[in-house]
């Protein structure tokens, strides 16, 4: 990178290790309780201060990213500018590697990376409340992506726990190449407005948990959106079954509203072998071995 090259910002995939739906308020919002972690695989965002706000998008999954005018990067920048008088904006360039509408928060993580970039260039502290306000106004998953570390998120996503002292987890992510609408999956869950579910909150990971302890805790949880997603797209069930059958898989589960699924492993080598086997058996799928932290 040359001396005048723009700084690069990571926008990592967000993985819901658990996702419990506790109810739905009269306005229609679902109350969630979820343990999230962030992957090594990511999109990349660069920012160059200029007079005018702009965005370009390229990369392997750019064609699925939709209309630039609706991109969350621009919406996040505009939301922060509305809260910070004189905010210096500029040119964003987003390189997309993560699948879109995939249950791994790609767009939300992109937006959070844009807010981090603007904070850095404008001398805003990472804990500035205006960053959180802008993030929450853009999307329910954006606040948790501002400081991408494993933690609990609750409510609509606005209530965040502290970063968890959890050992990194070896994982394989697999997306079978189908896009699932979050709204459609929640609708298929069928929870009435004002109703509470009979499920317990997500299990809590103890402080200083090693990987084995963390996986045991995660195994005690679930993803309540998995069943409706499978009804909407049989490919989710195929991905879950394929992951579960790989040697060494401790757990296979869907992330978010799908269709990306993940499996957890004891070692980096087991995860790498599983990713190679899945790629060979399903060459059209998006598959990545990664580390969750």
* pTM of the predicted model as reported, rounded to 2 decimal places: 0.95
Query: Among 43, 141, 184, 212, which one carries the catalytic annotation?
Result: 141
Q: Assess whether 43 carries a catalytic annotation.
A: no
- Using pLDDT thresholds of 50, 70 and 90, give the confidence band for residue 64: confident
User: Looking at the structure, do residues 140 and 23 belong to the same domain, yes or no?
Assistant: yes
User: Looking at the structure, do residues 22 and 110 belong to the same domain, yes or no?
Assistant: yes
Q: Assess whether 70 carries a catalytic annotation.
A: no
User: Looking at the structure, do residues 32 and 143 belong to the same domain, yes or no?
Assistant: yes
Say whether pLDDT at 174 is over 70: yes
Domain that holds residue 179: 169-292
Note the Cα 246 to chain centre separation in Å: 24
User: Looking at the structure, do residues 281 and 191 belong to the same domain, yes or no?
Assistant: yes
Listed residues 108, 131, 160: the one ending a domain: 160
What is the CATH classification number for the domain harbouring 278? Answer: 3.30.70.890
- Using pLDDT thresholds of 50, 70 and 90, give the confidence band for residue 5: confident
Say whether pLDDT at 1 is over 60: no
User: Looking at the structure, do residues 104 and 31 belong to the same domain, yes or no?
Assistant: yes
Output the pLDDT for position 4: 65
pLDDT tens digits along 275-293: 999 999 999 999 999 999 9
User: Looking at the structure, do residues 219 and 245 belong to the same domain, yes or no?
Assistant: yes
User: Looking at the structure, do residues 244 and 118 belong to the same domain, yes or no?
Assistant: no
Sign of CA dihedral 239, 103, 100, 184: positive
Give the mean model confidence (pLDDT) for residues 110-129: 98
Q: What domain count does the chain have? A: 2
User: Looking at the structure, do residues 155 and 280 belong to the same domain, yes or no?
Assistant: no
Give the mean model confidence (pLDDT) for residues 49-72: 89
Q: How far apart are CA 161 and CA 159, in angstroms?
A: 7
What is the CATH classification number for the domain harbouring 149? Answer: 3.30.230.10
Residue 1 lies in a domain: no
Instruction: Locate 30 and state its tokens.
Output: 């679902």
Q: Is 85 exposed, middle or buried (0-12, 13-18, 19+ CB in 10 A)?
A: exposed
Residue 78 lies in a domain: yes
Output the pLDDT for position 199: 84
Residue 145 lies in a domain: yes
Q: Is 43 exposed, middle or buried (0-12, 13-18, 19+ CB in 10 A)?
A: buried
């Amino acid at each position: 990178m040359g001396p005048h090259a723009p700084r690069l910002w990571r926008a990592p995939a967000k993985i819901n290790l658990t996702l419990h739906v506790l109810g739905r308020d009269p306005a229609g919002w679902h109350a969630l309780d979820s343990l999230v972690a962030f992957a090594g695989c990511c999109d990349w965002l660069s920012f160059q201060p200029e007079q005018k706000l702009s965005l370009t998008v390229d990369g392997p999954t750019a064609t699925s990213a939709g209309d630039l005018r609706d991109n969350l990067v621009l919406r996040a920048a505009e939301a922060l500018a509305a809260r910070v008088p004189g905010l210096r904006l500029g040119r964003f360039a987003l390189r997309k590697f993560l699948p879109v509408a995939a249950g791994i928060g790609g767009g939300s993580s992109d937006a959070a990376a844009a807010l981090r970039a603007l904070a850095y260039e404008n001398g805003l502290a990472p804990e500035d409340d205006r960053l959180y306000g802008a993030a929450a106004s853009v999307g329910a998953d954006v606040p948790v992506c501002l400081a991408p570390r494993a933690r609990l998120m609750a409510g609509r996503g606005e209530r965040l726990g502290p970063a968890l002292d959890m050992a990194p987890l070896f994982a394989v992510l697999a997306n079978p190449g189908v896009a699932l609408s979050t709204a459609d999956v929640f609708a298929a869950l069928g929870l009435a407005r004002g109703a509470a579910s009979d499920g317990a909150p997500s299990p809590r990971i103890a402080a200083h948990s090693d990987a084995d302890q963390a996986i045991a805790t995660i195994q005690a949880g679930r993803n309540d959106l998995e069943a409706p997603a499978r009804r909407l797209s049989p490919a989710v069930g195929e991905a879950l079954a394929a992951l579960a059958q790989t040697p060494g898989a401790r757990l296979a589960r869907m992330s978010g509203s799908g269709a990306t699924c993940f499996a957890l492993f004891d070692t980096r080598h087991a995860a790498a072998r599983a990713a190679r086997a899945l790629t060979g058996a399903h060459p059209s799928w998006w598959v990545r071995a990664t580390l969750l932290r």
